[in-house]
Amino acid sequence: MTVWDRPEPPLRPVPLDRERIVAAAIALADEGGLEAVSLRKVAARLNAGPMRLYGYISTKEELFDLMVDEVQTEILPEEQPGDWREALRTLALRTRQTALRHEWLADLLGGRPALGPNGLAVTEAKLAALDGLADIDTVMRAVETVSAYFTGAIRREIANLRAERVTGLSKRDWQRASGPHVTKMLATGRFPALAKAVHDGTDVDAETSFTTGLEWVLDAVATRLTPPSA
Amino acid sequence: MTVWDRPEPPLRPVPLDRERIVAAAIALADEGGLEAVSLRKVAARLNAGPMRLYGYISTKEELFDLMVDEVQTEILPEEQPGDWREALRTLALRTRQTALRHEWLADLLGGRPALGPNGLAVTEAKLAALDGLADIDTVMRAVETVSAYFTGAIRREIANLRAERVTGLSKRDWQRASGPHVTKMLATGRFPALAKAVHDGTDVDAETSFTTGLEWVLDAVATRLTPPSA
DNA sequence: TCTCATGTCGATACACTGTATTGATTCGTG
DNA sequence: CACGAATCAATACAGTGTATCGACATGAGA
């Protein structure tokens, strides 16, 4: 093979760093969901071979960890509001909004401990909101409870959202009218309470459902805080 | 190739049904986690070719749906206790226990709407527990909130459990002593509340954490129920 | 300025995945 | 007994995460 047949060597490889890798991965996930993220595709976006990434991460799971940590920056508000309740509410709502912007986050939420810098910062913010308002153990239980609530609520919301997308129908309409399976099941009479709920319940939007439950949980937390000493 | 070279045809294929397929898949997942479930391995356990499964499911996701629905039978208690609170608590605790028996459930919990017969039965049980104790919309909010809580709590618990397994240390010990990364981060002083929590907080076991939060949420629900008419 | 060691990079390779297609084989039915 | 339909397995394909390894550009030392 002569020189003329051989292509010029590729230009010096673009320098890589985790930031660029994670950004590429997030872009892919935003476009096509988590399953669209493959090391080959991420590398391709950066004009690199797949193996190149293994200098920066040692496993695909680590890439996911980095992605989660990265979007946590969107969760922390610029300034922490004063009231503990407002602070926790804001963190919960911003987590939800972030998950709506990056739906793949719902698949990862709660899946692994969030130990990256931004994850720790979010945890810090949660704990700081309640700092001094009760003994530490109560504060920890409170943070765990609120976080567990919104993790679960967000997962369910995104799950429903996806289901609605594939059928093109709202969950309610779908159950009531054209979801043949559920309709048939309800018709069996084996699920009276469920049938009543589907039939008589108001089809409340996801945000209302989320905030309603959130306020309930925050109420529960409020009861446990030590009353401000008189 | 003569008859003598050719092996006898395989015995008539073992008849298949979804039950056996799902059982095989669950066994695999119990042993090696969700990622150990491949259509090839499931089929192999049933002495069948991979393609055979596509007569019973049309996608791997559907197999997961069936697996989730199957283990829901372990969640429903034999008899429904009388008290709404007891009923919801039992459902939550049994979901947790089921997830501890089948850790892969944590990966799937809340990931897709549970519309199988057993999933519907569990939802029915939740709704039935509160039936008549408040208007339907309140009942639905209550069920959503409790479910969201324990979905998130279970996910976190399993996530921590796995993390502990790979390091061989309790989360607390690990953070305090030998988790170099977290230790270093805490040492930066950027996370004072977190540092205090790790340092001064009691290392409560997972079950206590779970039930504590659960009772809080149940308290919150209680507040919303219409007081028994005098 | 030349040589050599070092370490980075990418090509290749491997074992495996979910699933479409296709061809053989069996069975029920006329 | 023959044929049509249905069932099933083999093959195939495009993709996956990651181990291995050879080439090559780069920096250090002489």
DSSP codes joined into one string, chain A: --TTTSPPPPPSPPP--HHHHHHHHHHHHHHH-GGG--HHHHHHHTT--GGGGGGT-SSHHHHHHHHHHHHGGGTS-SS--SSHHHHHHHHHHHHHHHHHHSTHHHHHTTTS---SHHHHHHHHHHHHHHTTSS-HHHHHHHHHHHHHHHHHHHHHHHHHHHHHHHHTS-HHHIIIII-HHHHHHHHTTS-HHHHHHHHHS----HHHHHHHHHHHHHHHHHHHSPPPP-
Asked if the Cβ–Cβ distance from A209 to B159 is below 8 Å, we say no
User: How is residue B207 written in tokens?
Assistant: 């079950």
Q: Does the pLDDT of residue B134 top 80, yes or no?
A: yes
Q: Specify the pLDDT at position A3.
A: 46
User: How is residue A94 written in tokens?
Assistant: 């911003």
Give the residue from chain A lying closest to B127, CA to CA: A193
The CATH number of residue A54's host domain is 1.10.10.60
- For tokens 């429904």, the residue is B80
Contact A71, A102 (CB under 8 A): yes
- Give dist(CA B141, CA B33) in Å, integer: 33
Q: Specify the pLDDT at position B4.
A: 47
Same domain, B117 and B37: no
- Could you tell me if residue A88 is inside a domain? yes
Q: What is the mean pLDDT of residues B200-216?
A: 96
Q: Does the pLDDT of residue B1 top 50, yes or no?
A: no
Q: What percent of chain B has pLDDT over 90?
A: 73
Q: What is the mean pLDDT of residues B53-57?
A: 92
Same domain, B131 and B53: no
Q: What is the mean pLDDT of residues B71-75?
A: 98
Q: Using CB atoms within 10 Å of the CB of residue B212, give its burial: 0 to 12 exposed, 13 to 18 middle, 19+ buried.
A: buried
- Give dist(CA A140, CA A122) in Å, integer: 14
Q: Which residue has the higher pLDDT, A145 or B7?
A: A145
Asked if the Cβ–Cβ distance from A120 to B182 is below 8 Å, we say yes
Q: Does the pLDDT of residue B55 top 50, yes or no?
A: yes
Same domain, B30 and B106: no
CA distance B93 to chain A (A): 15
- Could you tell me if residue B164 is inside a domain? yes
Number of domains chain B is built from: 2
Write a three-state SS string for chain B: CCCCCCCCCCCCCCCCCHHHHHHHHHHHHHHHCHHHCCHHHHHHHCCCCHHHHHHCCCCHHHHHHHHHHHHHHHCCCCCCCCCHHHHHHHHHHHHHHHHHHCCHHHHHCCCCCCCCHHHHHHHHHHHHHHCCCCCHHHHHHHHHHHHHHHHHHHHHHHHHHHHHHHHCCCHHHHHHHHCHHHHHHHHCCCCHHHHHHHHHCCCCCHHHHHHHHHHHHHHHHHHHCCCCCC
A208 — phi, psi (to 5°)? Answer: -60, -45
Among A215, A203, A134, which residue's Cα sits nearest to residue A175? A203
Range of the domain at B87: 77-224
What are the pLDDT digits (tens) for A168-210?
766 666 666 556 788 888 999 999 999 999 999 998 999 999 9
Same domain, A203 and A111: yes
Q: Specify the pLDDT at position A5.
A: 47
Local confidence band at B81 (pLDDT 50, 70, 90 cut-offs)? confident
Same domain, A133 and A219: yes
Q: What is the mean pLDDT of residues B213-223?
A: 98
- Å separating the CA of residue A48 from the C1' of nucleotide D27: 23
Same domain, A47 and A1: yes
Same domain, B21 and B117: no
Give the residue from chain B lying closest to A216, CA to CA: B220
Same domain, A37 and A117: no
* Cβ atoms within 10 Å of B160's Cβ, excluding its own: 16
Asked if the Cβ–Cβ distance from A201 to B151 is below 8 Å, we say no
- Could you tell me if residue A132 is inside a domain? yes
Same domain, B123 and B219: yes
Q: Which residue has the higher pLDDT, B2 or B208?
A: B208
What are the pLDDT digits (tens) for B140-164?
999 999 999 999 999 999 999 999 8
Q: Specify the pLDDT at position A79.
A: 81
The CATH number of residue B175's host domain is 1.10.357.10
- Could you tell me if residue B2 is inside a domain? no
> What's the whole-model pTM score?
0.91
Q: Specify the pLDDT at position A4.
A: 47
CA distance B172 to chain A (A): 13
Interface test mutation site (partner A, options B145, B174, B186, max chain A beta carbons within 10 A):
B145
Q: Specify the pLDDT at position B6.
A: 47
CA distance A12 to chain B (A): 34
**What residue type is A114 in one-letter code?**
A
* CB contacts, 8 Å: B224 with chain A: 216
- Å separating the CA of residue A28 from the C1' of nucleotide C17: 21
Ranges under pLDDT 70 in chain A:
1-15, 169-179, 229-230
- Could you tell me if residue A198 is inside a domain? yes
Same domain, A7 and A50: yes
Q: Specify the pLDDT at position A6.
A: 46
Mean per-residue pLDDT over chain B, rounded: 90
Local confidence band at B3 (pLDDT 50, 70, 90 cut-offs)? very low
- HSE-up of residue A162 (Cα within 13 Å, Cβ side): 18
- Could you tell me if residue A104 is inside a domain? yes
- Could you tell me if residue B17 is inside a domain? yes
What are the pLDDT digits (tens) for A150-178?
999 999 999 999 998 887 766 666 666 55
Q: Specify the pLDDT at position A154.
A: 98
